[in-house]
Amino acid sequence: MANLTDKINGEIIRVYERRRHNAFNARDVYVSSLYARLPALEEFDMKLRRAGLARLRSVFETTGDDSSTFEQVASERQAFLREHGIEDGYDKPVFTCRACEDTGRVQNKWCFCRRQILQDILPAYFPDSMSSDHTFADFNLNLYDCMPSDRLQTLSARDVMAKNLQAAQFYASNFFQLQDRELFFSGDPGTGKTFLMQCIGHRLMEEGVAVIYISAPNLFDLMTRYKRLQQSFRPDPDQLEEATMLNNAFLTWDLLLIDDLGTELATQETFAQLLGLLDTRHNRQLATIIASNLKVPDFVKQYDSRIASRLKGNYLIYSFPPGDLRLRHLKAEG
């Protein structure tokens, strides 16, 4: 059975092969359509190829060929292209990535586009995935109560969420310029924390940002599995490789979205894992967004003061209005 690295590399190779096939196929279809409409263009291209071949042969043998023939044909062809509004290079394939021409390598190094392909592939190996309809375009403020609330000090739930939505859109639009990129979404279940978090994730993935979305219980399960495999006397190499790759993603990818923090089984091991994860990502200036039903002061009770201190000191905290939108939908449908 192929290990995870081989699987992923195989998928990446197939992506590049598919891209190159599509590029050449599109080129052939376009050139054929031009030749059908302008037969003289095909004749020019044939003449240019013959003239180029003749010039190449003349370098190695005296053939008596006129060296100016190639330049003359090229000049006439260029004039023909201008006359008919055809861009030079029409007969070249248009690759998805022009830097590496869909080979994945530039000057014997991985091309930047490989990371984007990996971003599209690797999330399939995580237990959680983002909902396709959790986007800014689908965010509906009308679901929130427009009446002022005593708990919100005269602001309505809709007012609060309008501010949170605006902040999330600003965050996504200015992601690369922001210094404070660690956010904490706090509020009751069903108030839109996950939805807004995933809106940010989807928008940034469109910009090529490497994003991971995962629930806290699954996050700690995967980190615990990685640690135990590491400490095993003879760990299965494929399982260890897979666990290492996933664990490294938590520590190195541009944006980590942790949902439902506080719902995992709280142990001393999870305390240490969370502390290490938060510190590593903060020190590497990587972005992290956390959603939780807990308020920051509650973390002192469930975790310890060190974690609460990290959240208070490093994270911008956004409170979500009370009330479960999902329960409201069920009542309305009933």
Where residue 140 sits, what CATH number does that domain have? 3.40.50.300
What distance in Å separates the CA atoms of residue 327 and residue 75, rounded to the nearest whole number?
73
Same domain assignment for residues 276 and 145: yes
Over range 146-165, report the average pLDDT. Answer: 80
Q: How many domains does the chain have?
A: 2
What's the pLDDT score for residue 243? 84
pLDDT recorded at residue 25: 96
pLDDT tens digit sequence for 74-100: 888 889 899 999 888 889 999 999 999
Are 251 and 277 spatial neighbours (Cβ–Cβ below 8 Å)?
Answer: yes
Tell me, what's the pLDDT at 332? 45
pTM for the predicted model, two decimal places: 0.71
- Where is the domain boundary, 113, 136, 166? 113
Q: Mean pLDDT, to the nearest integer, of 314-319?
A: 93
Does the structure show a pLDDT above 60 at 49? yes
3-state secondary structure the chain: CCCHHHHHHHHHHHHHHHHHHHHHHHHHHHHHHHHHHCHHHHHHHHHHHHHHHHHHHHHHCCCCCCCHHHHHHHHHHHHHHHHCCCCCCCCCCCCCCCCCCCCCEECCEECCHHHHHHHHHHHHHCCCCCCCCCCHHHCCHHHCCCCECCCCCCCEHHHHHHHHHHHHHHHHHCCCCCCCCEEEEECCCCCCHHHHHHHHHHHHHHCCCCEEEEEHHHHHHHHHHHHHHHHCCCCCHHHHHHHHHHHHHHHHCCEEEEEEECCCCCCHHHHHHHHHHHHHHHHCCCEEEEEECCCCCHHHHHCCHHHHHHHHHHCEEEECCCCCHHHHHHHHHC
Q: Do residues 167 and 268 share a domain? A: yes
Contact indicator for 321, 152 with CB cutoff of 8 Å: yes
**Both 8 and 31 in a single domain?**
yes
Is the domain of 159 the same as that of 137?
yes
**Helices 4-37 and 39-60 meet at what angle, rounded to 10?**
110
Q: In 3D, which of 309, 270, 284 has the Cα closest to residue 184?
A: 309
The whole domain housing 196 covers 126-333
pLDDT confidence bin for 5, thresholds 50/70/90 = low
- The model's confidence at residue 330, banded by pLDDT at 50, 70 and 90, is very low
Q: Are 86 and 40 within one domain?
A: yes
- Asked whether residue 201 carries a pLDDT value surpassing 60, the answer given is yes
pLDDT score of 154 more than 80: no
- Domain closes at, from 66, 90, 113: 113
Structure tokens belonging to residue 112: 């930047």
- CA end-to-end span of the chain: 50
Q: What is the pLDDT of residues 254-274, one digit of tens each?
A: 999 999 998 888 788 888 999
pLDDT at 68 over 70: no
Statement to judge: residues 144 and 293 lie in one domain: yes
